[in-house]
Amino acid sequence: MTEHKMKLIKAKEENNVENVIEVLLSLRVNALQISPEQRRSLVAELIWNDMFLISKQGNNNFVLDLLNIKSHGLKHAICALISVIASTPHGVEYLIQKGMTICEKVITILKD
């Protein structure tokens, strides 16, 4: 999980959209391959590792920056991982701890 997080941060810093998509899709595939009973544990692990840097940075900027990149593939990948995280109450708390901006942005993307 830590390796995925470091790859994600590095790819974002380098503006390497393809690598960002690769990491996000890898995380989503992992979530879909495990049994539903264990998915809660995966979501807890994503939160514990602060995959979207919400706790570390104290804001939603990391996720919002990714959501604002003009790439259909990236928007699909980030929204898919957000939906995995939001599949548990603890995941919802993680995503909205600094406000509803992530949810609002995802809704805007889905409308488009």
Over the stretch 76-92, which tens digit does the pLDDT of each residue have? Answer: 999 999 999 999 999 99
pLDDT of residue 88: 92
pTM (predicted TM-score): 0.89
63 Cβ neighbours under 8 A, 6+ residues apart: 52, 54, 78, 82, 102
pLDDT of residue 39: 87
Q: How far apart are CA 87 and CA 93, in angstroms?
A: 11
Q: How far apart are CA 97 and CA 1, in angstroms?
A: 21
Residue 65 sits in which domain range?
Answer: 2-111
Over the stretch 23-66, which tens digit does the pLDDT of each residue have? Answer: 999 999 988 898 888 888 999 999 999 999 999 999 999 999 99
pLDDT of residue 67: 95
Q: What does DSSP assign to residue 16?
A: -
Which amino acid, residue 104?
E
Residue 26 · residue 83 · CB < 8 Å: no
- Domain tally, the chain: 1
Map tokens 């995925």 to a residue: 4
